Amino acid sequence: MSDTVNPAVIRRADYAAPAFLIDSVALEFDLVPERTIVKSTMRVRRNPDAGAAHGAPGARLELMGEALEFIGAAIDGKALPEGAVRAHEHGLTIEHAPDAFTLTIESACDAGANTTLSGLYVSSGNFFTQCEAEGFRRITYFLDRPDVMATYTVTLRADKAAYPVLLSNGNLIEEGELPDGRHFAKWEDPFKKPSYLFALVAGKLVSIDERIRSGSGKEKLLQVWVEPHDLDKTRHAMDSLIHSIRWDEERFGLELDLDRFMIVAVSDFNMGAMENKGLNIFNTKYVLANQETATDTDFGNIEAVVGHEYFHNWTGNRVTCRDWFQLSLKEGLTVFRDQEFSADMQGGATDEAARAVKRIEDVRVLRQMQFAEDAGPMAHPVRPESFVEINNFYTMTVYEKGAEVVRMYQTLFGREGFRRGMDLYFKRHDGQAVTCDDFRHAMADANGRDLAQFERWYSQAGTPRISVRTAYDAVAQRYSVTLAQGYGDASNAARETQKGPLLIPFAIGLIGRDGKDIALRLEGEAEAKGTTRVIELTEQEQTFTFVDVKEAPLPSLLRNFSAPVIVEYDYTNDELAFLLAHDSDPFNRWEAGQRLATRELLALAARAQAGEPLALDDSTVAAFSRVLTDETLSPAFRDLAMMLPSESYLAEQMAEADPAAVHAARQFARKRLANALKRDWLSIYESHATPGAYEPSPEAAGHRALKNLALAYLAEADDPADAIRLANAQYDNANNMTDRAAALAALLAASASAGTDAAERALEDFYRRFEQEPLVIDKWFALQATQRGSAQRPVIDIVRKLMAHPAFTLRNPNRARSLIFSFCAANPSQFHSADGSGYAFWAEQVVALDALNPQVAARLARSLELWRRYTPALREKMREALERVAGQVKSRDVREIVEKALA
């Protein structure tokens, strides 16, 4: 039987405007953990634009509701009799609704028992909400869809001693005392918003406050709210917020529109953070930091996430999504904005080498995670066509590939052209719920371009491949570059979506024998223009000819990663070494090193599979040695250049993924680089020390990164005695978490290579030192779950033992991620152990989590989705584990993942 109120598969093609609209809502909360009473008073009217065919039959109003206790409803003050209103599993049905009326509904929910962390829940005794995507319906009956936008007035009532702070969206307009030790606060949000942006917070919290003036001179109150013992970890988040506000004014002319902007940190949270209007709620991981507890990476992530949520105020909140298929409209665009913000904070608008560090980090994530997603059963377009559970579509594709799609507009039109498109987008759509097409049309119209073909970036899944052929005609001094696009052997899910060639902005440079860029003149042009050109590939195959080319050049392809594609070109090892040494495009310099390393590592993995001896060419080692010691390059760049491609990325490149062979290959190469360059590593370790007071600047962080990379390599050397000595000293003397955690990681690595227990003392000390800091204890679990391990000491045994540790709990997502996800998703060779013990553990944990928190369980479930791509023995064991889970899970979330994996 098909269920029209709650269909199993939701399709983009079935979108219909809502039959009713809600213009305003007044919410009253009586906050009690076990039974919070919510009274909602709404102005409702029939939607004049609702299509007749899709509208609800007659005058029936269907409101969504989940896990609610219905108490009563009234229309225009008259209680609805039985028969006129019906509460059911998915919501509330009201018969014979008038054309315009006031609807009052009273209901109750149990926040204390809510382990899903969606809707209203309790964490450390405080109340929080999480409404995106469909959590508001767990708070009250509503038209819980993003194209229903209303103004909200919220009254919170609670015991004053237990809940001294009462927050909601917008401006505080009234507060006061109530009988029996209770108090209230009334908040008003002047901006219309969809229900997913509603938020409330109540509890024992404290804030740091700042007052700033925004661009137009208005005073704004900024607050970061945390539990009292965390107040000493809020400065960096506040600074990041101030920088974000300034950046959005300068780069996009966008000003903060509320008098007050709040960030609240909560330790139980499903994702990173949430952009609720004026009241952002954050995972503590992306707020709390000081030098003792947070690494340089944490500091950078906090800046990025604070920026991301703040930028949503315009891209997401002022202009929101018509339906959830348009999610990338706000997420892809906002990720692009936060990437640009972080790059500007690192390198300003013009220091290309410093900006490239951020670009490389972002591309690494895209290639490692999004390309893998595209190759499996969850492959979907940036704008998906269907879903079972929307929470499963907050994906790498929607976020990271979506950001690349937005970036391509900027690559095509330049920063000014992109800004023109943004300005037009806000001029047309401020206050509306719109689609990805609306954004594309604004970009097209502002720049006088037809972007019809560009639509395919939103509707085609899979990673495009561009194969490149080049030819040099010495007599005619012409150099031709032929680009052909396709999808290779894309997954079935990806193949089904393909319609035709994409418009691909392809940035290219040509390098002469002297290592310098050649001025570029395309056939038909009067003169040369610049040394990097963005050529536009629009057909399946096209040839571009450069003229006046005096010698056979070396092509530098897809500079700065100008499109989210795979480039296939047969460079020789010598050519890659040359690019690694000379390319003026810093991204492609890094890329050349990665190509060289990938090729060598895959060859090593093949030898490992065949049981042949492993060897790495001196010339390859020399190419890396030159980068490592090139003082003209920043330490941060050298750190990235010396980092080998990850095991999961390498496994993904094999016809049949073999994690054990990849691990053997990568470990061999690390050891070889550790031994061959030992003197360099030691001297780098010394010369990049950062003595004196801790400084979180990008430069200081770069020195620490390179120094700690040196330590990590030294720990792989045949004789790790130096590493153990240095790491112990660094551990004891560290004045910051970056150095302390890196020292502990090096000790764990050294004990794996040396078969000693060199890490035991530091591990114990670390735990005792930071027992009161949950985010640091997460690191303690994660470091152990991702350690190398050995045949005598398999990591699964350590993980199972840690599951019984008093500090472990499945209920806190950060903690579950720190141990279980770290092992299942970030320790491939141990997880994919041939005996299947990793998969058995995975199955147990998915089922256990499913009963508590389906969103988190579904994320974990995804660690087996690429099972078909592995060697036959592993494949078989993975299928068994998936089938076991499929037979036991209850949630829609996990069922969608395992069923798609097995289909």
Positions annotated as catalytic residues are 309
Pick the closer one to ligand TRP by CB: 130 or 326.
130
Q: Report how far apart, in Å, the C-alpha atoms of 28 and of each of 44, 112, 140, 151, 187 are.
A: 18, 19, 11, 14, 10
> Which listed residue (110, 268, 275, 344) binds ligand TRP by CB under 6 A?
275
Q: In angstroms, what is the minimal distance from the CB of 815 to Zn ion?
A: 23
Which residues, numbered 299-328, are part of the site for ligand TRP (CB under 6 A)? 308-309
Pick the closer one to ligand TRP by CB: 133 or 665.
133
In which order are the strands placed within the sheet that holds 78-79? 78-79, 69-75, 100-109, 36-46, 20-30, 149-159, 182-194, 171-178
Structure tokens given for 451: 């972007």
Which residues, numbered 99-138, are part of the site for ligand TRP (CB under 6 A)? 130, 132-133
Which residue has 């997460």 as its token pair?
778
Give me the DSSP letters along 192-233. Answer: EEEGGG--EEEES-EEEEEEEE-TTS-EEEEEEEE-GGGGGG
3-state secondary structure of 148: coil
3-state secondary structure of 50: coil
d(CA 865, CA 217): 52
Q: Total number of residues binding ligand TRP (CB under 6 A)?
A: 12
3-state secondary structure of 17: coil
Q: In angstroms, what is the minimal distance from the CB of 404 to ligand TRP?
A: 16
> Which listed residue (66, 331, 338, 389) binds ligand TRP by CB under 6 A?
331
Closest alpha carbon to 703 in 736, 660, 672, 744: 736
d(CA 477, CA 518): 13
Structure tokens given for 560: 């700065």
Query: What is the dihedral angle through the alpha carbons of 341, 343, 347, 351, rounded to the nearest 10 degrees?
Result: -120
Half-sphere exposure (Cβ direction) of 538: Cα atoms closer than 13 Å = 9
d(CA 501, CA 487): 10
Pick the closer one to ligand TRP by CB: 304 or 451.
304
Q: In angstroms, what is the minimal distance from the CB of 374 to ligand TRP?
A: 20
Pick the closer one to ligand TRP by CB: 316 or 347.
316
274 binds, among ligand TRP, Zn ion, none (CB under 5 to 8 A by kind): ligand TRP
Which residues, numbered 782-841, are part of the site for Zn ion (CB under 5 A)? none
Instruction: Decide: 711 and 749 in contact? Cβ < 8 Å.
Output: no
Closest alpha carbon to 763 in 752, 779, 775, 256: 779
- Spell out the alpha helix ranges (H) of 688-786: 698-714, 721-733, 737-754, 760-769, 774-785
244 binds ligand TRP (CB under 6 A): no
Angle among Cα 753, 754, 756 to the nearest 5 degrees reads 120
Pick the closer one to ligand TRP by CB: 147 or 309.
309
Give me the DSSP letters along 391-438. Answer: GGG--HIIIIIHHHHHHHHHHHHHHHHHHHHHHHHHHHHTT-EE-HHH
Q: In angstroms, what is the minimal distance from the CB of 280 to ligand TRP?
A: 9
Q: In angstroms, what is the minimal distance from the CB of 272 to ligand TRP?
A: 6
749 binds, among Zn ion, ligand TRP, none (CB under 5 to 8 A by kind): none
Q: In angstroms, what is the minimal distance from the CB of 306 to Zn ion?
A: 12
Angle among Cα 250, 252, 257 to the nearest 5 degrees reads 90
Q: Total number of residues binding Zn ion (CB under 5 A)?
A: 2
Q: In angstroms, what is the minimal distance from the CB of 339 to ligand TRP?
A: 13
Q: In angstroms, what is the minimal distance from the CB of 133 to ligand TRP?
A: 6
Which residues, numbered 302-341, are part of the site for Zn ion (CB under 5 A)? 331, 334
130 binds, among Zn ion, ligand TRP, none (CB under 5 to 8 A by kind): ligand TRP
Pick the closer one to Zn ion by CB: 403 or 623.
403
274 binds ligand TRP (CB under 6 A): yes
110 binds, among Zn ion, ligand TRP, none (CB under 5 to 8 A by kind): none
Structure tokens given for 730: 């660094």
The interface region with ligand TRP, picked from 270-278, 690-698, 700-708, 785-793 by CB under 6 A, is 270-278
Q: In angstroms, what is the minimal distance from the CB of 342 to ligand TRP?
A: 15
> Which listed residue (155, 207, 270, 871) binds ligand TRP by CB under 6 A?
270
Pick the closer one to ligand TRP by CB: 10 or 133.
133
Pick the closer one to ligand TRP by CB: 281 or 802.
281
d(CA 204, CA 183): 14
400 binds, among Zn ion, ligand TRP, none (CB under 5 to 8 A by kind): none
d(CA 666, CA 679): 21
712 binds, among Zn ion, ligand TRP, none (CB under 5 to 8 A by kind): none
The interface region with ligand TRP, picked from 267-275, 748-756, 796-804, 866-874 by CB under 6 A, is 267-275
132 binds, among Zn ion, ligand TRP, none (CB under 5 to 8 A by kind): ligand TRP
Pick the closer one to ligand TRP by CB: 117 or 258.
117
Q: Report how far apart, in Å, the C-alpha atoms of 144 and of each of 63, 65, 148, 818 are.
A: 8, 8, 7, 33
d(CA 888, CA 739): 44
Element (H, E) at 683: helix 678-687
Q: In angstroms, what is the minimal distance from the CB of 334 to ligand TRP?
A: 7
Pick the closer one to ligand TRP by CB: 308 or 595.
308
d(CA 795, CA 800): 9
User: What residue is closest to ligand TRP based on CB?
Assistant: 271
Amino acid 886 reads A
Structure tokens given for 641: 């250049």
- Spell out the alpha helix ranges (H) of 530-583: 573-582
Pick the closer one to ligand TRP by CB: 400 or 739.
400
Q: Please report how the helices 774-785 and 760-769 are oriented relative to each other, as an axis angle in degrees rounded to 10.
A: 160
Q: In angstroms, what is the minimal distance from the CB of 325 to ligand TRP?
A: 15
271 binds, among ligand TRP, Zn ion, none (CB under 5 to 8 A by kind): ligand TRP
> Which listed residue (245, 266, 273, 799) binds ligand TRP by CB under 6 A?
273
Half-sphere exposure (Cβ direction) of 657: Cα atoms closer than 13 Å = 24
> Which listed residue (15, 70, 394, 808) binds ligand TRP by CB under 6 A?
394
227 binds, among Zn ion, ligand TRP, none (CB under 5 to 8 A by kind): none
271 binds ligand TRP (CB under 6 A): yes
Task: List Cβ neighbours of 420 (8 Å cut-off, separation of 6 or more).
Answer: 413, 446, 447
Q: In angstroms, what is the minimal distance from the CB of 339 to Zn ion?
A: 12
Pick the closer one to ligand TRP by CB: 283 or 620.
283
Contacts to Zn ion by CB under 5 A: 331, 334
Contacts to ligand TRP by CB under 6 A: 130, 132-133, 270-271, 273-275, 308-309, 331, 394
